[in-house]
Every structure is written in structure tokens, then in C-alpha cells.
Amino acid sequence: MEAISEARRHIDNAKDFLSNNAKKQDGLYRDVKYVKIAGHTAYTGILLALNELLGEKKKKSRKSVEWYQKELSSMDKKVTSNFALAYEILHLAMGYDGAKSAELAEIGFDRAEQIIGWVEMRLQKPSSKY
């Protein structure tokens, strides 16, 4: 479960970047640099957890967001939806656009934690391959 611990550490680090460096005022972060760092860090945490669950599946290069969505859609529709939202918020809005909304960041972190928790539960289930 090292990947889950590492994924959670990424989420914690992302939250720390915002709380310690981004200078929140009136529900908005003032320093876009740290918003972007936090978004990318949190999204990477999600990918670490998902990669532990999904494995390589014969794909040696970087996986696309579509690949993750396809793999998740055959497992759990709610997690697929959470992943799509986390991707939009953490990776695109925060990571690239530097969206300053603290409320938006909180939603993204919440979805990330839900996904990581779901992965952890799936990894703890005994394999039914007998």
C-alpha cells in the first residue's frame, strides 16, 4: 500500500502549498504559481493510486486521460465521474489555468481523496482469481 501512502502524501503536499504559500484572501488564492503546483501535485497523487490498481496493462508509455476513463468506466461509473471532475479541476483549471477559487480547490481535493480511498478499498479486497 505504499502507492496509497504516496498518493495521500501528494494530496497533503498540495494542500500545504496552498495554505502556506498561495495567500488566500476572500476565498481566492492570490499566488497563481502555488495554485498550479498544488493542482499538478494533487492530480499526480490520483494517478499514483490508479496506476497501482490498474497496472501497466501492456502500455509502456504515458497513459492518456482517456485511457484512465476507459479503464475506470468498466469498473465503477461514480469513480469515472469523480475522475473526470478531478481532472478538470486539479489538472486543467488549477494546474494549467491557475484557477484561484479556494472552493473549487476544495472540491478537487475532495474528489481526489474519494478516488484514492476507492482504490485503497479495491486493493484490500482479496483476489477472486482461483
- Which neighbouring-strand residues pair with 101? 28
**Cβ proximity of 105 and 94 under 8 Å:** yes
Residue type at 42 in one-letter notation:
A
Phi, psi of 25 (to 5 degrees): -150, 125
- Which neighbouring-strand residues pair with 106? none
Judge: domain 2-124, CATH 3.40.630.30.
Answer: no
Query: Whats the size of the chain, residue-wise?
Result: 130
pLDDT at 60: 67
User: Please, what are the averages of pLDDT over each run of 10 residues along the chain (130 residues)?
Assistant: 95 97 96 97 97 76 91 96 98 97 98 98 71
Grid coordinates standing for 127?
483476489
pLDDT at 125: 77
